Amino acid sequence: MERKRVSASNIRSVGYDEKTMTLEVEFSNGQVYQYVKVYPEVYRRFMAAPNPTSFFDDRIAEELTGATALKGRRFSVADRTLGQHRQRQLA
C-alpha cells in the first residue's frame, strides 16, 4: 500500500485502500500498523487535519479496538502507548 508523508510528531506516513477500507499508519519509530473497516471519510479527515497526531489519538486510537502490525502480531486494547491502538468500525 502506498503511504503519504504527513507532518506529525509521531506519525511518519499514512496510506489507505478504499476497496478493503484499510488504513495503514507508519510511526516515527518505524512500526507500521493496519486498521480495518475504516470509512473513507475518516481517512480524508485524518489527512486534512491540522494536527494529524491529535486526530489519530482522538478519532482512531481512541475509537478502534485493535491494530494489526504488518509483521502479523495482533495487539489488543491495552493502553494508548505507541503501537497499542484500538480498532473498530468508525461511522
> Is the pLDDT reported for residue 50 higher than 60?
yes
Average pLDDT over residues 52-75: 73
Q: How far apart are CA 38 and CA 20, in angstroms?
A: 9
| 8-28 residue pLDDT tens | 999 999 999 999 999 999 999
Cα separation, 9 vs 74, in Å, equals 24
Q: What is the rounded distance in angstroms from the CA atom of residue 21 to the CA atom of residue 6?
A: 20
Beta partners for residue 25, in sequence order: 14, 33
